[in-house]
Structure 1
Amino acid sequence: MSLRHALLGLLADTQQNGYDLTKRFEQTLSGHAWNAGHSQIYPELKRMTAEGLVEVVDEGSRGSKVYGVTDAGRAELRRWMFSPLGETPPRNEFVLRLFLLSSLDLPDVRVLAERMAGTSDQRAIDLTHAIKEIEDSTPPGQPHGYARFAAEFGRRYFELQRDWARWVVEQLESGERPSS
């Protein structure tokens, strides 16, 4: 995934200025899918404008530009959405730490696994609350929207991490000695 595709997806949903786009990025994608700040978002918007993927559709107060996705931008987003998964190298700090557990002493593995379980459990709880907010803000009889799908994936993902970390602690407590 690239910042470009994340921005195209957010702009395909609704036209936004750079400030609102940065805020929405932080509220929806940061910490779950992709991280980027305004120092990355604004230059990317400029490049995407030059390449015809987005366009300035309005100018707000103090010269703020409202961006919208072009037909070429929608085509690029669609191309990327249907490209095979794994075209970009995966980055998952949690999994990296799993591979490096053997570098720790067993008591440290226990502490780290318990910390991972707690952190993952809290993130699952936070997403459960976010899901409730999505459901509560959806008018009766209307679908909850695609944000609900992403939030549900995140909740289940963090529950899986939590359950795995608790399993590790159980294995250590039962006297199971992992081999490298």
Structure 2
Amino acid sequence: MSLRHALLGLLEDGPASGYDLTARFEKSLHRYVWTARQSHVYPELNRMADDGLIVVSDQGARGRRTYMITDLGRAELRAWLLAPARTRAVRDEQVLRMSLLSTLTAAEARQLVHHYLSDAENAHAELLDIAAAADAEDHPRGRLRFGRLAIEYGIRSYQAQQEWARWALEQLGTSAAGD
């Protein structure tokens, strides 16, 4: 995935300024999908405008620009969405830690898994709140608007992480080795 495609997807949901896009990115994508700083967003918006994928639809006070997606931008987003996904490099520090639990004592491993479980429970609760707010809002695309399906993916992923952590704690509880 590229920042370009994330921004095109956000603009497909409606025109927005660079500031608005950064805020929407932070709210809907940052923690769960993709990270980007404001210093990355603005240069990418300029490149996208140069490539004809977006246009400035309004210019306000202090040079604030509102961007909107063009037909070429929609075609680019559609082509990317429909193309087979490339093999992705996975870099998940939490999973790496879990794969190395055997280097700890059972008590230390239990402590780490308890922390992992707590993080998964908190993130799950946060996504449930986001989903409830999204479901309560009236939107032309209804429940299937941008991000709602991804929110549900996240909810279910955190449920699976909680199940795994509880299972791992059971396994660690039955092992006296390393205590």
For normalisation by structure 1, the TM-score amounts to: 0.88
Deviation, 1:161, is 0.9
CA RMSD after TM alignment:
2.1
Deviation, 1:50, is 1.4
Aligned residue type for 2:127: L
Deviation, 1:35, is 1.0
Aligned residue type for 1:78: R
- Aligned counterpart, 1:128: 128
Paired residue secondary structure (2:68)? strand
- Aligned counterpart, 2:63: 63
Q: How does 1:28-43 map to 2 (within 5 A)?
A: 28-43=28-43
Paired positions, count: 176
Q: How does 1:1-180 map to 2 (within 5 A)?
A: 1-138=1-138, 143-146=142-145, 147-175=147-175
Paired residue secondary structure (2:79)? helix
CA deviations over 1:87-142 (Å, ceiling 9, x no partner): 44233333233333334333222111110001001111111112221222238xx8
Paired residue secondary structure (1:85)? coil
Q: Matches of 1:49 and 1:87 in 2, distance apart?
A: 29
Aligned residue type for 2:144: G
Q: Matches of 2:168 and 2:58 in 1, distance apart?
A: 54
Q: Matches of 1:144 and 1:57 in 2, distance apart?
A: 27
Q: Which has the higher contact order (CA 8 A, sep 6+)?
A: 2
Aligned residue type for 2:18: G
Q: Percent identity?
A: 42
CA deviations over 1:2-28 (Å, ceiling 9, x no partner): 111100100111110101111111011
Of residues 66-75 and 79-88 in structure 1, the stretch that sits farther from structure 2 once superposed is 79-88
Paired residue secondary structure (2:143)? coil
Structure 1: gaps of 5 or more residues: none
Aligned residue type for 2:123: R
Q: Are the aligned partners of 2:127 and 2:155 in contact in 1 as well (CA < 8 Å)?
A: yes
Q: Matches of 1:73 and 1:42 in 2, distance apart?
A: 17
Q: Matches of 2:33 and 2:49 in 1, distance apart?
A: 24
For normalisation by structure 2, the TM-score amounts to: 0.89
